[in-house]
Amino acid sequence: MTRFSLEGRIAMVTGCNKGLGQGIAVALAEAGADIVGVNRSGADATRVEVEALGRRYDNVEAELDRDRAEDIVARALERTGRLDILINNAGMIRRAPALEFTVADWDSVIDVNLKAVFFLSQQVARHWLERKSPGRIVNIASMLSFQGGIRVPSYTASKSGVLGLTRLLANEWAAHGITVNAIAPGYMATDNTQPLRDDPQRSAEILGRIPAGRWGTPEDLAGAAIFLCSDASSYVNGHTLAVDGGWLAR
């Protein structure tokens, strides 16, 4: 259906060199979007997949916890001329008991997972207001946007913040034709969950609670990402969509 098409649109996706970000970037390309990735290094594998679909891929190398959002967006616009979609996917995690957690681990996670999300969104929204054009922002939240978790205090704080920030930005920018939503992935088979999957007891506990009975994959986010970036979701705003195999229902 054409209302799910992203033909002619340009999506900026952070952290798309692998994992969930790569899966989302490829899904948006399948729906017709050109992609500009923001990564700490090259994203050759993503480029190959996107270009194989007949779409354009540009890469902006940047450190989200160091480079200014204004500069990142300006560099992206130099390559593409405009942006229509922003996917705030890049994230990091640090694990340690709350009593032992360090300032450095707190700051590094908050800077990437929450601070960069806000300031990239701010810069892209300014671009849309200058163009007087609508836009789509999709943030990547987490199960820990809804739950506390253990041994990941800064990650939980950041992802809880993403849920709240998604609502606030939706409230402020809806009148300008900008929607701001989020996807909360369940337990996905990514680098971030490798320690959990390597722990037989913890892995069994997690799988035992997921009604679908398996870890999620990047491809599982494709439909949600396309929907929230397309005209099909034009009246969906400030919502965080769980893609979790039923985890929260249990």
Give Rg (Cα) of the chain. 17
Catalytic residue among 57, 155, 187, 235: 155
From CA 91, how far away is CA 187, in angstroms rounded? 15
Provide the token pair at 168: 């606030």
From CA 242, how far away is CA 248, in angstroms rounded? 8
From CA 237, how far away is CA 55, in angstroms rounded? 28
Does residue 155 carry a catalytic annotation? yes
Q: In what order do the strands lie in the sheet with 85-88?
A: 57-61, 34-39, 10-14, 85-88, 135-140, 178-185, 240-243
From CA 30, how far away is CA 92, in angstroms rounded? 27
Please give the DSSP secondary-structure letter assigned to residue 104. H
Q: Enumerate the active-site residues.
A: 155
